[in-house]
Amino acid sequence: MKVFLASGNAKKIGEMQRILAEHVPDVEVLGIADVPGYVEPVEDQPTFEGNALLKARAGVAATGLPSVADDSGLCVDALNGMPGVLSARWSGPPKSDDRNNELLLAQLHDVPDERRGAHFACAIAWVMPDGRERVVEGRMAGRIIREPRGSGGFGYDVLFVADEHSDAADGRGFTSAELDPAEKDRISHRGRALRELAPHVAQDLAGA
């Protein structure tokens, strides 16, 4: 059973494979690298839901397979919810996690610890070749620390401490980049959304 994930991020593909496999044991998640010549659509929608649907619909059109796409980002309280849908492109082209993190730290340099609240938001779209569509959302609340920590994850994970882990590691908290994959899946915005979506994916694939 093949499902297309409209992403070239190997870690994200692995994350989705792990979670979907709990409900669809024989599922195989393909990514952009598995589709020669795949052209990614421009993510020009103002919301996470809009971009997720845009990418999932493009995935179905290009592959003919049931397709999943997510759009997610970091919403920082002191920046009025930014970078939001611009998270991956926050520091401009070409995309760079390191430059994005450097820019975010610079923007929050004078912000005291008690005002560094933030959350990750995620919308995941599921589109079937017959036109059926579903969108689910997930959220993970936490705060932004003052220097990167951890070698796992991707994006802003090295700067984000989730509320569930804010008291761990001698009071410093564990960043998302310091969590093992299973624990990150359990609490992450994407993990929560995927677990909500997975039973519907299993049901739709069983009736496909």
- Span 163-199, pLDDT tens digits: 988 776 566 789 999 998 888 888 889 889 988 998 9
- Span 48-94, pLDDT tens digits: 999 999 999 999 999 999 999 999 999 999 999 999 999 999 999 99
Q: Which residue(s) pair with 175 in the sheet?
A: 161
Task: Answer yes or no: is 163 a known binding residue.
Answer: no
Task: Answer yes or no: is 155 a known binding residue.
Answer: yes
* Radius of gyration of the CA atoms of the chain, in A: 17
User: Is 71 among the catalytic positions?
Assistant: yes
What residue segments make up the domains of the chain, in order of their start? Answer: 2-206
10 pLDDT band (50/70/90 cuts)? confident
| Residue given tokens 């929050």 in the structure block | 108
Entry pTM: 0.87
Task: Answer yes or no: is 190 a known binding residue.
Answer: yes
Task: Answer yes or no: is 157 a known binding residue.
Answer: yes
Among the listed residues 26, 34, 71, 170, the single catalytic one is: 71
Mean pLDDT of the chain: 92
Contacts with 2 (C-beta within 8 Å, 6 or more apart), sequence order? 27, 28, 30, 65
* Strands 133-144 vs 117-127: parallel, antiparallel or unpaired: antiparallel
Task: Answer yes or no: is 146 a known binding residue.
Answer: no
Task: Answer yes or no: is 11 a known binding residue.
Answer: yes
Task: Strand 2-5: give its sheet, edge to edge.
Answer: 28-30, 2-5, 67-76, 117-127, 133-144, 160-162
pLDDT of residue 22: 84
- CATH architecture for segment(s) 2-206: Alpha-Beta Complex (3.90)
Q: What is the rounded distance in angstroms from the CA atom of residue 115 to the CA atom of residue 202?
A: 41
